[in-house]
Chain A
Amino acid sequence: MPGILVFCETKDGKLKKVSREALSIGRKLAEKTGGDLAAVVVGSQAASLAADAGHYGAKKLYAVESAALDSYTTGQTTAAVKQAVDDFKPSVLLMGGTSNGRDLAPRLAARLGVGVASDVDQLDWTDGKLRARRSIYSGKVFGRVEISGTPAIATTRPNAFSAEVVAGGGAADVVKVSFTPVEVKSKLLETKTPEAGELTIAEADIIVSGGRGLKEAQNFSYIRDLAHAIGGAVGASRATVDAGWIDHQHQVGQTGRVVSPNVYIAAGISGAIQHLAGMSSSKHIIAINKDPEAPIFRVADLGVVGDLFTILPALTEEVKKAKAH
């Protein structure tokens, strides 16, 4: 029976949203393959995620319990997940396209001699093979790929699949995976969180992005105020990053992040081809720009021709009012 295994990451004792999304699409694939859906979680508290994984359809939870796996290192986590793969022998291995997922998937694939499709936004199982859609050239083109080899590996783009709780989904059965930490050549010295509490564009449901129309660095406060009020992340155009107004982590587009949030608000962004490529798969796009001919309006579902310096504060106030109700 071709099973589906999903490597799940945790945050604050819960499965990450992107891991729940991967489990949900994994469940749909499992219905087609007729196999089981299993999750693999690593770290000393791994087994405690059985209920969480079960809610999203996992029948089994492969728990690789070791304190050596509590923080991510390429060497340990690759060895641990490989152990789970060897035990469960899945046809498909999925993981969220996070920093760690993107670090782990290629390393593990090379060890297993199999291929990976990165950052996929559609997945299907047809004719005994995994098929995926992924955007290439930063979203200018979609590529449909077929992934052969066992397991076929894919990393899922955050927000591309919905996380769906399964009605009556009980806790997954815990299968303990025996694991002896390996000798590794790298170690994590420190984790720095400079912008504690700030959402990142990769996983946010709502992104408020600013461009050159902000005129100067300090005016990013207009963007931050709205993002804060609405519960979204701060995005930025390449021009503002190159000008040093904001850190590169915020950059949306071809040399930044390709994002697909539910709501994308672009203010003062004219819409260079590289930027459009990086955000036009967002589900609902709102553009605010004083130039009615700005290319951003070609992809916007709602375009507002006007002055961002008056519209953004008004919008921030309206959002606060709406949230207060």
Chain B
Amino acid sequence: MNSVVCISQVPDTESRIKIAADGKHIDEAGLKFIVSPYDEFALEEAIRLKEGKGGDVTVVTFGPDRSAQALRECLARGATKAMHIKGDSVDADSLGVARVLAAAIRTLPHDIVFFGKQGVGTDNGLVGPMVAELLDVPQVNVVTHLEVGDGKLTAHREIEGAEEIVECSLPAVITAQKGLNEPRYASLKGIMAAKKIPIDTRSVADLGLTDSDVFHQRVTFVGLETPAEKSGGRKIDGADPSAAAQEIIKYIREEAKAL
């Protein structure tokens, strides 16, 4: 059972995000980067599969030089191989990223390709299903439980207020939701072992793609803006609960026109 886990490196969720001077990118100076939180559930599931059924867990990312660190973290947790496609993924739209990843995955053994349900950054949630389409394999998105059998899998998919149980053939693409598992931390032994695993580094061109397949196409940022800082509204004392409750009701009725 071989898995590929596609990860993205994103700013720590604690970060305050500043806009760069060009107005189209974020200012990366001083930002701490992490493996995107949903990708951790994807990686953990792949490692558990490997532990149960054997095979490789290849972790793949498309991004600038700094992304190699995210791959190292995944190797330290238990991934067995890593591929880094170097490039300014920030200037690629989701289909551009998906083309790069699909081309990489074709060169790797894969029964299941895992993603986080979305990158906690641009928050598109598009790349996983796009890769599934490019590879012509089935997809199950926002998965909270997974069972893998012989040539097929059964996945629980979260939808509005309910859960669907979907069966599909392998290979398949799975996007992981929080709750799929409890991701492990890297052990010291894992961190040491990871240092010895070489990262297979490629360029977009190495994968047979041109810049115009990937960069500055289809969906392009024309500008970024910081949301208007809310000034904070009225603050009242809630020492008298029923007076506070009446004040809230009045507000909901008069301002929100609800109730």
Which A residues are closer than 8 A to B by beta carbons? 73-75, 78, 98-100, 102-103, 105-107, 109-111, 113-119, 131, 134-149, 184-195, 198-200, 202-203, 205-206, 230, 241, 247-249, 251, 254-256, 258, 262-263, 265, 273-274, 280-281, 283-286, 288, 292, 297-307, 310-311, 313-315, 317-319, 322-323
Contact = CB atoms under 8 A, between A and B. Distances in A.
Contacts, number: 289
Interface stretch (B79-87, B106-114, B204-212, B238-246): B238-246
A111 B11 CA distance: 31
Nearest to B238: A306
Contacts of A116: 94-95, 124, 126, 219
Given A118-B125, A262-B258, A280-B230, A106 B94 contact: yes
B161 interface: yes
B26 A137 contact: yes
Interface string B225-252: 1110010111111110110111111011
Contacts of A189: 154, 165-167
Nearest to A299: B230
Given A302-B248, A311-B245, A318-B249, A140 B17 contact: yes
Contacts of B189: none
A119 B237 CA distance: 37
Interface-central residue, A230, A241, A306, by most chain B CB under 10 Å: A306
A195 B161 contact: yes
Contacts of B93: 115
Contacts of B236: 302-305
Contact of A185 (B168, B242, B259): B168
A318 B245 contact: yes
B233 A141 contact: no
Interface of B: 11, 13-14, 16-17, 19, 26, 37-38, 93-95, 98, 120-134, 137-142, 144, 154, 157-169, 172, 177-179, 217-227, 230, 232-239, 241-242, 244-249, 251-253, 255-256, 258-259
A135 B165 contact: no
A145 B219 contact: yes
A304 B248 contact: yes
Contacts of B37: 255
Contact of B161 (A200, A206, A301): A200
A106 to B, nearest CB: 4
A110 B122 contact: no
B230 A298 contact: yes
B224 A144 contact: yes
Contacts of B239: 306
A284 B255 CA distance: 8
B248 A188 contact: no
A146 B158 contact: no
Contacts of B258: 205-206, 262-263
A107 B130 contact: yes
A98 B17 CA distance: 27
A249 B158 contact: yes
B239 to A, nearest CB: 6
B123 A322 contact: no
B235 A292 contact: yes
A303 B80 CA distance: 51
A303 B233 contact: yes
A198 to B, nearest CB: 6
Contacts of A74: 129, 138-139
B220 A255 contact: no
Interface-central residue, B124, B158, B225, B236, by most chain A CB under 10 Å: B124
B230 A146 contact: no
A103 B129 contact: yes
Given A263-B256, A284-B255, A118 B161 contact: no
Contact of A144 (B129, B158, B225, B248): B225
A109 B126 contact: yes
B221 A99 contact: no
Contact of B251 (A202, A281, A302): A302
Given A144-B223, A199-B161, A206-B258, A306 B232 contact: no
Contact of B17 (A78, A137, A288): A137
A115 B97 CA distance: 11
Interface-central residue, B122, B142, B172, B219, by most chain A CB under 10 Å: B219
